[in-house]
């Protein structure tokens, strides 16, 4: 008794190639649609990333500008209050005003974050 051959015959190879070609031709429209969707998604993502990068750069510039202006305003406030109060008291008043505004804005930020967390649950 002889064992059947496990090597594919020419007929089986041709049949497999023909089936693969038919499968590729049949899936071409679906592949084109998916490729088009992928291009649109990729383009939208790149546009959003560009916008986010621009926003980050502009926010960084605004932060530097606000810090510089705050420093100058602090100096102006100390000098203006120094006209009526001793210099050390003028500096203390400005420091307390800055501390108070930072505490209030920090509290508002924490409140906003807690509301956001509650809304996401």
d(CA 96, CA 36) in angstroms, rounded, equals: 59
Same domain, 88 and 115: yes
The per-residue pLDDT for range 25-57, each reduced to its tens digit, is 877 787 788 888 888 888 888 988 888 888 888
Q: What domain range includes position 106?
A: 82-121
Assess if residue 104 is contained within a domain: yes
**DSSP label at 14?**
H
Could you read off the pLDDT of 68-108 as tens digits, one per residue?
888 888 889 889 988 999 988 988 998 898 889 888 988 88
Let me know whether 27 and 48 are in one domain. yes
The rounded distance, in Å, linking the Cα atoms of 95 and 81 is 12
Quick one: pLDDT at residue 5?
Answer: 57
Please say whether the beta carbons of 72 and 94 come within 8 A: no
18 and 64 share one domain: yes
Please, what is the average pLDDT of the chain? 83
Q: Pseudo-torsion of CA 93, 99, 102, 104, nearest 10°?
A: -90
Same domain? For 88 and 42 the reply is no
- pLDDT grade for 2, boundaries at 50, 70 and 90: low
Residue 19 maps to a domain? yes
For the question of whether the overall pTM of this predicted structure is more than 0.75, the answer is no
């Amino acid at each position: 008794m002889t064992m059947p051959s496990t090597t594919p015959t020419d007929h089986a190879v041709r049949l497999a190639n023909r089936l693969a070609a038919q499968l590729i031709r049949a899936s071409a429209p679906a592949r084109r649609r998916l490729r088009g969707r992928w291009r649109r998604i990729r383009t939208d993502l790149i546009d959003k990333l560009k916008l986010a990068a621009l926003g980050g750069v502009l926010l960084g510039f605004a932060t530097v500008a606000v810090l510089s202006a705050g420093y100058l305003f602090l100096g102006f406030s100390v000098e203006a209050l120094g006209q009526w109060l001793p210099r050390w008291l003028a500096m203390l008043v400005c420091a307390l005003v800055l501390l108070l505004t930072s505490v209030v804005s920090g509290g508002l930020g924490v409140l906003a974050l807690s509301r956001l967390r509650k809304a996401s649950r």
